[in-house]
Amino acid sequence: MSLHLESISSLRKQLTSGDIAPSDILDALSESIATQNPAINAYLSYDLETAKKDANAADLSKPLGGIPIAIKDNINVQGQPCTCGSKILDGSYQSPYNATVINNLIQSGAIPFGRVNMDEFAMGSTTESSAFGKTHNPRDLDRTPGGSSGGSAACVAANMAIAALGSDTGGSIRQPASHCGVVGLKPSYGRVSRYGLVAFASSLDQIGPLTQNVEDSAIILNAISGHDAMDSTSIRDEARDFTAGINDGVKGMKLGIPKEYFGEGIHPDVRAQVDKAIKGLEAEGAEIVDISLPNSAYAVAAYYIIAPAEASSNLSRFDGIRYGHRTEKPSDILDLYKSSRAEGFGSEVKRRIILGTYVLSSGYHDAYYNRAQKVRTLIRKEFEEVFQKVDAIISPVTPTAAPLLGADKNNPLQQYLADIYTISANLAGIPGISVPCGTVTSESNTQLPVGLQILGAHMDEQTILRVGQTVETISS
């Protein structure tokens, strides 16, 4: 059966009519995984037997009743491993609890299914820093799927998952969605609980869906959003149906085009596809407004001070004492800490911990960390002012299509700059979505996807979903 190719709404109709059972979907997915995953390496593990038990008990009257959802390996699912793509948690940790998003999915009838690959502790943009091997882009196996949620994007793009959850700290949902040709939604900070997400940078992290289409992202957002007393940053907001009005089009909307996102560095073929999508939105009745976000020029610098600083603090818990990798025969307590962390963490994680510790150290805290926080405030205020004039902002997701695996292996700065268009949304806490808007032809004559980024005002996911649905319609 080709059930693994279908959308959530299509599968839900078949499930509620009795034409198929949830186990039929799982069988189709497991067959697809067996065929494709050895080459792609998106799934780290999956438990078909447990998933089928959950499927047999699924309440098909619920909004996601019977739908399997793949889970990024930094989101806790009770009884399952949660490695964060790192040796430091390999084989030594099984989650004793569910993240709030997992409980919300289960309450909506969904079936958490499988652990998918990621950059180690979500630090990366290529899914090459995983301790369990790199993930390959299904559109071209020689290329990266993006990161850090590369496994989530790749499994959806390869139809090895109906949908997946990822996390986005500086673009880690939207960038791989763009590279793999799927839809990736980063909700507003505070919209979705972070309880049970292994923290990278607590003031930036947000969980969101990667799906085959915009409507599916809205359906999953309905399930996972809401206030959570277990997360002090969770925002109280009225219950919403994010699918409402999704097909209302963009007529009369004002869409801002930031000149800073269309300057040097963007590949001309990528820009051509983005420009084409903008013209399509204008043809649908949107007013295109030129805007400026000058403080975005400082976003990358501010982000790579704030995020490593928070990571330095968050990852201090991995010390070989309570859980995780513990070095053998340490000479003393200091050697236990040093050797356990040196053996367990990969090079990118070590780099960011060192950088974060430095900017928080005595004598440098004010010069770097405090100044970066001030820049962050300026960026947030700049977005607030712009959203007084426009309904949404349109831009590329990334400067280029998916790069070749290993292309920036020895150039971490180049990898950091890959998130130049996505980082500002995390610093400001606003929602963003990547929607496929075309393809470009690579040197090897393969068609590589291009994503269009749509940013909205804080807590206004419905507007970007509505614009995204229009993009999806005109691009299909």
Q: Which residues are catalytic?
A: 72, 148, 172
- Its sign, for the CA torsion 397, 401, 161, 207, is negative
* Nearest by Cα to 405 from 196, 146, 60, 33: 146
Give the number of other Cβ atoms within 10 Å of residue 297's Cβ.
14
Q: DSSP 3-state assignment of 213?
A: coil
In the chain the first and final C-alpha atoms are separated, in Å, by 24
* Nearest by Cα to 190 from 463, 458, 468, 462: 458
Whether the CB-CB separation of 455 and 182 falls below 8 Å is answered with: no
Distance CA 296, CA 225 (A): 28
CA dihedral of residues 144, 148, 149, 150 (deg, nearest 10): 10
Give the number of other Cβ atoms within 10 Å of residue 319's Cβ.
19
User: What are 283's two structure tokens?
Assistant: 């043809």
Whether the CB-CB separation of 392 and 455 falls below 8 Å is answered with: yes
User: What are 216's two structure tokens?
Assistant: 């599916």
Q: How many helices (H) and strands (E) does the chain have?
A: 15, 11
Distance CA 370, CA 373 (A): 5
Angle between helices 268-283 and 461-475 (to 10 degrees): 100
Distance CA 232, CA 251 (A): 38
* Nearest by Cα to 29 from 88, 59, 70: 70
Residue position matching structure tokens 């909506």: 108
Sheet holding 287-291, edge to edge: 43-45, 111-116, 68-72, 163-168, 206-211, 183-186, 432-441, 447-455, 392-396, 254-258, 287-291
Whether the CB-CB separation of 150 and 118 falls below 8 Å is answered with: yes
Phi and psi angles of residue 423, each rounded to the nearest 5 degrees, phi first: -60, -40
Distance CA 124, CA 412 (A): 9
